[in-house]
Amino acid sequence: MLQQFLPGDYVKSIFHISPEKLKESGIKGIITDLDNTLVEWDRPNATPQLVEWFKDVKEQGIDITIVSNNNERRVKAFSDPLNIPFIHKARKPMGKAFLKAVKNMNLKKEEVVVIGDQLLTDVLGGNRSGFQTILVVPVASTDGFFTRINRKIERRIMESLKRKGMIQWEE
């Protein structure tokens, strides 16, 4: 059961993910969370550094889809200026939105990586749906109400993973 919460990789931020290395490993698509993965949950737009990262990803020929549990207004306002497709109200960790995203990108699961900041939504959903997963440290130290509840549960899961020797990284 704990294996479902174990990400394939763990990095400090989205900027520690190299588009070139993703391409070299056969990745052709990224499904990414929005809030606290790409930007703070209360930041409306992408930072210049993030815009540059997206540009690097696209230059490598890698497709991107934002899959968020947030509402359409929030996700659309962020995604549209970047010309990045999105799925809102995704109901992660349920798999339907992940499968829709990979279908829209016209890729195979093996060619797509799921990136997010939460074990209970992004990693669990990605793993259960058969994708590679990368967990990033949240970009903000604050969260919305429901995410704060998830974080308490995630801390217990992380402690269990550490006790069992399943994770090697430092927080």
Check whether 1 has a pLDDT greater than 80.
no
Whether the CB-CB separation of 115 and 9 falls below 8 Å is answered with no
Q: Write down the domain spans for the chain.
A: 2-163
CATH number of 2-163: 3.40.50.1000
pLDDT level of residue 163 (50, 70, 90 thresholds)? confident
Q: Tell me the whole-structure pTM to 2 decimals.
A: 0.90
Q: What is the 3-state secondary structure (H, E, C) of 95-127?
A: CHHHHHHHHHCCCCHHHEEEEECCHHHHHHHHH
Q: Which two tokens stand for residue 22?
A: 């993703």
pLDDT digits (tens, 9 = 90+) for 101-143: 999 999 999 999 999 999 999 999 999 999 999 999 998 776 6
Residues 6+ apart with CB under 8 A from 32: 14, 38, 64, 65, 66, 67, 114, 115, 116
pLDDT score at 161? 84
pLDDT digits (tens, 9 = 90+) for 9-35: 999 999 999 999 999 999 999 999 999
